[in-house]
């Protein structure tokens, strides 16, 4: 669509009216990249790219161009993809920033509003593209994601923040709302939140770095910047007092995004609640937010609930715990969320927000899950899911569901999954809810990615209970349906991750589905995933192998290792990604469950290489790897005499074991003690153990060194080498007896 | 089932009179109605007569009024242009409303007998909307059915009603509400909300008492 005639205000307005609201017109315009460049050029150099007809002005050309560009960035992620790509290549966001950084007093409010809006729309589009979104999964636009991420990062450079953050103090509500809305969406990572919460206006920054006397240490001065949560947090808190509901809503959104997972800001905002009861105090931010929860405007009320949730969940110490703290905040928020979720008169978009807010409220907090459950949240969520699902026909999703209903379904299922993740009673109730289980099962094949993802998360929560794995997941077909998702190579990466998390729980020895999955290509699929680019999928694949190998037959172990490859295991045992390395050690530990298996391990990996893998792992600071390596060694110590001797001969390893016995936490001391005990039973190892000084260490552990043998060791005992764990002390005593007895028989 | 308490007319009227409603309150209710519904001239005159300052400036009312008038005379293009001038975000963030306006445009083509243009418009503009949002398909199908009946008298009610003035008013009302919402003004006039509250209150009381109800008929309401 190359435009021949020159660009004028009239042509821009016609263009604007043809694209606003019209996705196909936008797509068509976006394909004409050279024209998009011209449009972006009009933002700052209208004289170069356009013609100013009599009766119109350069400013109007710029404003209309801004509106067209903003419109191109609006739409669902799938439809906005092409528009976003062209706008990124034309550097539209830089053009807006340039204009905003060169504002004079001459520009009209309409101009400032249009350009602020343009920046906002683009920034939000970048953030939605890069993720994570607050409101569920968005389609992954991999082609554009990288460029969008880069563009998003530039928005948080100090010199760029200096351009748009001060606009939060603008007199025009439209401009303030635009910036606040922009922050709501773009503050999606810790790095960005920190940059914004620590931002100061340039003048204050200069003062702060110099300090009052010019020679103060910078880190002392830093704390002043963070008072009140920082300049931006203070400004947003002040905006909460506005009478304009749109300003309130936008400020709540931005404040919530700033406080999310940001304990510095959240704690400051919560600090004066409930201790400070000064009415009208400008620092009681959380109190103001809670008051706004009761707003009659539903959008404001929900925004306030989300903001309060983020503040309360991220602040330290926690004010929300029903057991100890004042749970006014939790009750207020939960009451409103339950009401909106259960209200069929509310729009799906509103109910979706309430469901996601509930998700954030309870996620990964066992007490809050119970709190919400006891107040009927699960019932409400089940009702929502049932009410939006047609019951008259089988659920095949042939007739496409509207986007809004699918989003609501995703939100409700996400909240159900979060509620059931930590508590068996809640899990059981979900598992026994036949209609809900039917819908979850059907949702696993829903066309909407987010719905499939949240359905997998529900099954994951259920699969944490052995009884459920043995019964409901089998009877309902839910387990095998997830397995189907897991096998699908074309599935979305995030859904695959969720499905693989379920599989980790279904491969245990007590699971009736294990043999079925083994027959249907489980091992081959897991091996594929270990080679994935996605770290999460690799981790889950290893986790699944680890669970699969536990208490499995030697034959199964052999089948797994034939497929996975011993060399793969070797390289994983020195993997730089420590999370993956930990799984590798855990796998090796499960591989060494019998004397025969120990032999296999030594043979396949080689005795010396195997011990060389273990040695550094016993010296690491990483507690998880240390634990697994110690457990592996303890299992290896159950091997044949020859294997025991080779272990005991390795002085580096034995030195590490000895220090583990004394210095490590009790989870590590237990397998260390088992290892030593097993080795001590072998007469060929006893001398080496004595030479390494194990007898004196064991003696100290049993409190035989100091003379007074008390029934229960003193609290300080452990620090003096005395063992306070009964099980460990017993093993130490037994091992010591063997070493001392052995001395006399040699 | 407990007996319903009968309330006599005199008793009812006595209680109603006891409720204090000032003239100022009533005036503000009327002003609110005129502003929200977009009757600028009436609002201006009423403001002078009743000595009330309006809650918003008259220009913004005028903007909405012009849009309503454009739709009522069937000029959808003009309405879209004016909506975009007022707030370019509204149609971009409200696909259902944009669809409603395009549907109205199609109806106007059909009403004017411009069948060829109607077909082209439906194919190029409305069909993509149906593809992007399947929930619009039933309405789209209804509107396309108009073409099939070509204003013949045998069209079913749900389809022929699309050509009635009510449809234009319905579209105008939805656009008005969307504009008000975008400027964080109330979507619904307080008078309408009060009527709803009245009906709800009556239905609640109906379960326990017999009392004189307000009649919402075509004629004057009786008490």
Domain containing A681 — which CATH number?
Answer: 1.25.10.10
Look up residue B123 and give its DSSP letter: I
**Is the pLDDT confidence value at A323 over 80?**
no
| Crossing angle (nearest 10°) for helices B76-86 and B165-182 | 10
Nearest CA in chain A to B84: A17
Q: Can you tell me the distance from the alpha carbon of A656 to that of A319, in angstroms, rounded to the nearest whole number?
A: 43
Chain A to chain B Cβ contacts (< 8 Å): 47
Say yes or no for a CB contact (<8 Å) between B80 and A17: yes
Q: What whole-number percentage of chain A has pLDDT above 70? A: 89
pLDDT of A712 reads 52
Residue A393 has, within 13 A of its CA and on its CB side, a CA count of: 4
A21 touches chain B (CB under 8 A): yes
Contact A348, A405 (CB under 8 A): yes
pLDDT of A594 reads 92
Domain that holds residue A591: 565-746
Question: Which residues of chain A have a CB within 8 Å of the CB of B93?
Answer: 74
pLDDT of A324 reads 43
Report the DSSP beta bridge partners of residue B6: B210
Q: What whole-number percentage of chain A has pLDDT above 90? A: 72
CA geometry: angle A78, A82, A88, nearest 5 deg: 120
CA geometry: angle A342, A478, A546, nearest 5 deg: 115
| Nearest CA distance, B129 vs chain A (angstrom) | 8
| Nearest CA distance, B11 vs chain A (angstrom) | 35
Question: Which residues of chain A have a CB within 8 Å of the CB of B89?
Answer: 74, 117
Q: Can you tell me the distance from the alpha carbon of A427 to that of A582, in angstroms, rounded to the nearest whole number?
A: 29
Report the DSSP beta bridge partners of residue A7: A50
With the C-alpha atoms ordered A447, A453, A455, A459, is the resulting torsion angle positive or negative? positive
pLDDT of B221 reads 41
Mean pLDDT for A397-402 is 75
pLDDT of B161 reads 85
| Nearest CA distance, B8 vs chain A (angstrom) | 36
| Nearest CA distance, B98 vs chain A (angstrom) | 6
Residue A85's nearest CA partner among A170, A26, A21, A10 is: A26
Q: Can you tell me the distance from the alpha carbon of B214 to that of A527, in angstroms, rounded to the nearest whole number?
A: 75
pLDDT of B153 reads 66
- What is the three-state SS of B58-120? HHHHHHHHHHHHHHHCCCHHHHHHHHHHHCCCCCCCCHHHHHHHHHHHHHHHHHCCCHHHHHH
Among partner residues B89, B92, B134, which is closest to A400 by beta-carbon distance?
A: B134
Say yes or no for a CB contact (<8 Å) between B84 and A23: no
Q: Give pLDDT tens digits for A467-505.
A: 888 888 888 899 999 999 999 999 999 999 999 999 999
Domain closes at, from A155, A189, A212 = A155
Q: Can you tell me the distance from the alpha carbon of A313 to that of A559, in angstroms, rounded to the nearest whole number?
A: 46
CA R_g for chain B: 22
Residue to test with chain A: of B88, B102, B125, B177, most A Cβ within 10 A: B88
Say yes or no for a CB contact (<8 Å) between A21 and B98: yes
Q: Does A558 reside within a domain?
A: no
**Is the pLDDT confidence value at A408 over 80?**
yes
Mean pLDDT for A410-426 is 96
Q: Can you tell me the distance from the alpha carbon of A361 to that of A309, in angstroms, rounded to the nearest whole number?
A: 6
A399 touches chain B (CB under 8 A): yes
Q: Give pLDDT tens digits for A336-377.
A: 999 999 999 999 999 999 999 999 999 999 999 999 999 999
Say yes or no for a CB contact (<8 Å) between B125 and A17: no
Among partner residues B92, B134, B135, which is closest to A21 by beta-carbon distance?
A: B92
Residue to test with chain B: of A10, A15, A19, A21, most B Cβ within 10 A: A21
Q: Can you tell me the distance from the alpha carbon of B4 to that of B206, in angstroms, rounded to the nearest whole number?
A: 8
CB atoms within 10 A of CB A527: 16
pLDDT of A156 reads 97
Residues of B near A (Cβ–Cβ under 8 Å) read: 77, 80-81, 84, 88-89, 91-95, 98, 101, 125, 128, 132-135, 184
A16 touches chain B (CB under 8 A): yes
pLDDT of B150 reads 64
Among partner residues A74, A117, A244, which is closest to B184 by beta-carbon distance?
A: A244
Mean pLDDT for A534-540 is 95
* Beta carbons within 8 Å of A574's beta carbon, 6+ residues apart: A581, A613
Higher pLDDT, B120 or A392: B120
**Is the pLDDT confidence value at A143 over 90?**
no
Q: Can you tell me the distance from the alpha carbon of A541 to that of A546, in angstroms, rounded to the nearest whole number?
A: 9
* Beta carbons within 8 Å of A392's beta carbon, 6+ residues apart: none
pLDDT of B134 reads 81
Q: Can you tell me the distance from the alpha carbon of A200 to that of A572, in angstroms, rounded to the nearest whole number?
A: 46
Report the predicted TM-score, pTM, of the whole model to 2 decimal places. Answer: 0.86
With the C-alpha atoms ordered A264, A269, A273, A279, is the resulting torsion angle positive or negative? positive
Say yes or no for a CB contact (<8 Å) between B134 and A24: no
A23 touches chain B (CB under 8 A): yes
Higher pLDDT, A139 or A21: A21
Higher pLDDT, B60 or A405: A405
SS3 category, A50: strand
Contact A580, A530 (CB under 8 A): no
Question: Which residues of chain B have a CB within 8 Å of the CB of A401?
Answer: 134
Measured between its terminal Cα atoms, the distance across chain B in Å is 28
Measured between its terminal Cα atoms, the distance across chain A in Å is 97
Total residues belonging to chain B:
223
Question: Which residues of chain B have a CB within 8 Å of the CB of A245?
Answer: 184
**Which residues in chain B come in under a pLDDT of 50?**
221-223
Residue B143's nearest CA partner among B188, B176, B105 is: B105
Q: Does A737 reside within a domain?
A: yes
When mean pLDDT is compared over A44-58, A556-570, B50-64, the highest value belongs to: A556-570
Look up residue B126 and give its DSSP letter: I
Say yes or no for a CB contact (<8 Å) between B88 and A21: no
| Nearest CA distance, A279 vs chain B (angstrom) | 28
Among partner residues B91, B125, B184, which is closest to A20 by beta-carbon distance?
A: B91
A328 touches chain B (CB under 8 A): no
Please report which residue ranges of A375-423 form alpha helices under DSSP H: 377-387, 403-420
Contact A270, A315 (CB under 8 A): yes
Say yes or no for a CB contact (<8 Å) between A402 and B133: yes
Kind of pairing between the strands at B209-210 and B5-6 = parallel
| Nearest CA distance, B7 vs chain A (angstrom) | 33
How many domains does chain A contain in total? 2
Look up residue B6 and give its DSSP letter: E
A287-300 CB burial, b ≥16 within 10 A, e <16: bbbbebbebebbbb
Contact B147, B119 (CB under 8 A): yes
**Is the pLDDT confidence value at A322 over 50?**
no
Say yes or no for a CB contact (<8 Å) between A244 and B95: no
Q: Can you tell me the distance from the alpha carbon of A327 to that of A33, in angstroms, rounded to the nearest whole number?
A: 55
Among partner residues B81, B132, B135, which is closest to A17 by beta-carbon distance?
A: B81
Helix (H) or strand (E) holding B20: none
Question: Which residues of chain B have a CB within 8 Å of the CB of A400?
Answer: 134
| Nearest CA distance, A173 vs chain B (angstrom) | 11
Question: At A1, is the pLDDT very low, low, confident or very high (cuts 50, 70, 90)?
Answer: very low
Mean pLDDT for A430-444 is 93
Distances (CA, A) of A115 to A39, A60, A102, A248, A390: 13, 12, 12, 22, 45
Residue to test with chain A: of B87, B91, B92, most A Cβ within 10 A: B92
Q: Can you tell me the distance from the alpha carbon of A64 to that of A229, in angstroms, rounded to the nearest whole number?
A: 38
**Tokens 């929900």 -> residue:** A302
- Report ipTM for this prediction: 0.80
Q: Can you tell me the distance from the alpha carbon of A623 to that of A117, in angstroms, rounded to the nearest whole number?
A: 50
Among partner residues A16, A74, A402, which is closest to B135 by beta-carbon distance?
A: A402
Say yes or no for a CB contact (<8 Å) between B88 and A20: yes
Nearest CA in chain B to A73: B92
**Is the pLDDT confidence value at A661 over 50?**
yes
Say yes or no for a CB contact (<8 Å) between B184 and A17: no
Look up residue B210 and give its DSSP letter: E
Phi, psi (5° rounding) for residue B209? -145, 160
Among partner residues B84, B132, B135, which is closest to A20 by beta-carbon distance?
A: B84
Question: At A216, is the pLDDT very low, low, confident or very high (cuts 50, 70, 90)?
Answer: low
| Nearest CA distance, B67 vs chain A (angstrom) | 15
Look up residue A7 and give its DSSP letter: B
pLDDT of A390 reads 82
pLDDT of A209 reads 63
Higher pLDDT, A201 or A6: A201
Q: Can you tell me the distance from the alpha carbon of B92 to that of B84, in angstroms, rounded to the nearest whole number?
A: 9
Domain range annotation of chain B: 1-55+185-223, 92-184
Question: Which residues of chain B have a CB within 8 Å of the CB of A80?
Answer: none
A347 touches chain B (CB under 8 A): no
**Is the pLDDT confidence value at A725 over 50?**
yes
Residue A312's nearest CA partner among A281, A274, A342, A339 is: A274
Domain closes at, from A155, A173, A195 = A155
Phi, psi (5° rounding) for residue A561? -70, -30
Say yes or no for a CB contact (<8 Å) between A402 and B134: yes
When mean pLDDT is compared over A129-133, A167-171, A204-208, the highest value belongs to: A167-171
Q: Can you tell me the distance from the alpha carbon of A132 to that of A188, in angstroms, rounded to the nearest whole number?
A: 7
Say yes or no for a CB contact (<8 Å) between B128 and A24: yes
| Crossing angle (nearest 10°) for helices A478-487 and A493-506 | 130
Question: At A207, is the pLDDT very low, low, confident or very high (cuts 50, 70, 90)?
Answer: confident
């Amino acid at each position: 669509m190359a435009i021949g005639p020159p660009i004028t205000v009239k042509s821009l307005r016609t263009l604007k009216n043809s694209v606003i609201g019209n996705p196909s017109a936008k797509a068509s315009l976006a394909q004409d990249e050279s024209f998009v460049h011209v449009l972006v050029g009009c933002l700052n150099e209208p004289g170069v790219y356009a013609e100013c007809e009599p009766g119109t002005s350069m400013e109007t050309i710029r404003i209309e161009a801004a509106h067209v560009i903003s419109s191109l960035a609006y739409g669902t992620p799938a439809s906005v993809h092409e528009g976003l790509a062209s706008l990124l290549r034309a550097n539209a966001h830089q053009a807006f920033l340039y204009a905003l950084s060169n504002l004079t007093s001459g520009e009209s409010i309409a101009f400032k509003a249009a350009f602020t809006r343009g920046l906002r729309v683009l920034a939000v589009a970048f953030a939605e593209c890069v993720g994570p979104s607050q409101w569920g999964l968005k389609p992954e636009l991999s082609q554009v994601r990288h460029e969008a991420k880069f563009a998003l990062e530039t928005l948080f450079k100090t010199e760029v923040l200096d351009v748009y953050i001060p606009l939060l103090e603008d007199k025009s509500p439209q401009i303030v709302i635009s910036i606040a809305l922009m922050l709501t969406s773009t503050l999606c990572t810790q790095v960005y939140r920190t940059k914004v919460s620590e931002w100061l206006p340039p003048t204050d920054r200069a003062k702060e770095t110099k300090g009052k006397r010019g020679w103060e240490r910078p880190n002392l001065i830093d704390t002043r910047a963070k008072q009140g949560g920082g300049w931006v947090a203070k400004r947003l808190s002040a905006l909460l007092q506005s009478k304009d509901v749109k300003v309130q809503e936008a400020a709540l959104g931005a404040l919530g995004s700033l406080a999310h997972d940001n304990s510095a800001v959240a704690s400051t905002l919560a600090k004066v609640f409930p201790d400070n009861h000064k009415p009208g105090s400008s620092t009681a931010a959380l109190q103001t937010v809670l008051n706004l929860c009761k707003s009659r405007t539903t959008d404001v009320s929900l925004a306030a609930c989300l903001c309060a949730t983020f503040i309360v969940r991220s602040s330290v110490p926690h004010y929300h715990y029903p057991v100890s703290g004042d749970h006014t905040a939790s009750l207020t928020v939960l009451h409103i969320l339950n009401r909106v979720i259960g209200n069929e008169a509310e729009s799906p978009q509103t109910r979706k927000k309430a469901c996601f807010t509930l998700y954030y409220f309870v996620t990964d907090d066992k007490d809050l899950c119970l709190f919400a459950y006891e107040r009927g949240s699960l019932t409400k969520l089940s009702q929502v899911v049932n009410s939006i699902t047609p019951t008259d026909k089988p659920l095949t999703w042939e007739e496409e569901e509207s986007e809004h209903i699918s989003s609501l379904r995703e939100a409700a299922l996400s909240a159900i999954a979060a509620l059931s993740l930590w508590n068996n009673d809640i899990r059981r109730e979900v598992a026994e809810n036949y209609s809900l289980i039917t819908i979850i099962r059907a949702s696993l094949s829903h066309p909407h990615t987010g719905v499939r993802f949240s359905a997998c998360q529900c099954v994951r929560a259920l699969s944490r209970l052995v009884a459920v794995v043995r019964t409901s997941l089998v009877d309902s077909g839910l387990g095998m349906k997830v397995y189907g998702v897991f096998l699908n190579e074309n599935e979305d990466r995030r859904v695959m991750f969720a499905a693989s998390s379920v599989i980790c729980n279904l491969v245990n020895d007590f699971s009736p589905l294990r043999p079925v999955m083994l027959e249907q290509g489980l091992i081959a699929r897991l091996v594929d995933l270990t080679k994935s680019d996605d770290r999460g999928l690799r981790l889950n694949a290893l986790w699944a192998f680890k669970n699969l190998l536990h208490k499995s037959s030697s034959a199964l172990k052999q089948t797994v290792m034939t497929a996975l490859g011993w060399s793969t295991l070797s390289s994983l045992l020195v993997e730089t990604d420590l999370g993956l390395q930990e799984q590798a050690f855990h796998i090796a530990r499960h591989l060494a469950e019998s004397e025969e298996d120990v032999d296999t391990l030594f043979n396949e990996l080689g005795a010396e290489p195997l011990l060389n893998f273990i040695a550094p792992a016993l010296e690491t600071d990483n507690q998880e790897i240390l634990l697994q390596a110690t457990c592996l060694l303890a299992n290896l110590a159950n091997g044949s005499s020859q294997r025991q001797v080779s272990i005991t001969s390795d002085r580096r390893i034995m030195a590490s074991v000895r220090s583990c016995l004394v210095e490590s936490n009790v989870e590590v001391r237990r397998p260390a003690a088992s290892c030593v005990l097993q080795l001590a039973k072998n007469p060929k190892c006893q001398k080496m153990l004595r030479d390494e000084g194990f007898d004196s260490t064991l003696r100290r552990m049993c409190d035989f060194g100091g003379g007074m043998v008390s029934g229960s060791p003193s609290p300080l005992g452990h620090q003096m080498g005395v063992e306070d764990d009964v099980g460990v002390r017993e093993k130490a005593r037994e091992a010591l007896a063997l070493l001392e007895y052995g001395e006399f028989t040699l | 089932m407990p007996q319903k308490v009968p309330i006599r007319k005199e008793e009812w009227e006595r209680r109603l009179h006891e409720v204090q409603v000032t003239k100022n309150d009533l005036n503000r209710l009327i002003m609110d109605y005129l502003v929200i519904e977009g009757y600028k001239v009436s609002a201006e005159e009423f403001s002078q007569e009743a000595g009330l300052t309006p809650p918003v400036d008259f220009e913004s009312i005028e903007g909405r009024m012009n849009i309503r008038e454009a739709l009522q005379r069937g000029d959808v293009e003009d309405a879209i242009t004016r909506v975009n001038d007022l707030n370019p975000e509204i149609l971009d963030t409200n696909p259902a409303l944009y669809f409603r306006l395009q549907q109205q445009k199609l109806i106007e083509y059909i009403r004017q007998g411009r069948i060829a243009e109607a077909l082209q418009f439906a194919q190029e503009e409305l069909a993509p909307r149906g593809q992007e949002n399947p929930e619009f398909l039933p309405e789209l199908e209804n509107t396309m059915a108009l073409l099939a009946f070509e204003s013949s008298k045998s069209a079913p009610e749900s389809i022929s009603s699309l050509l009635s003035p009510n449809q234009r008013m319905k579209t105008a009302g939805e656009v008005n509400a969307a504009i008000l919402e975008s400027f964080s003004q109330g979507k619904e006039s307080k008078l309408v909300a009060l009527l709803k509250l009245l009906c709800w209150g009556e239905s609640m009381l109906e379960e326990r008492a017999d009392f004189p109800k307000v009649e919402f008929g075509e004629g004057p309401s009786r008490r």
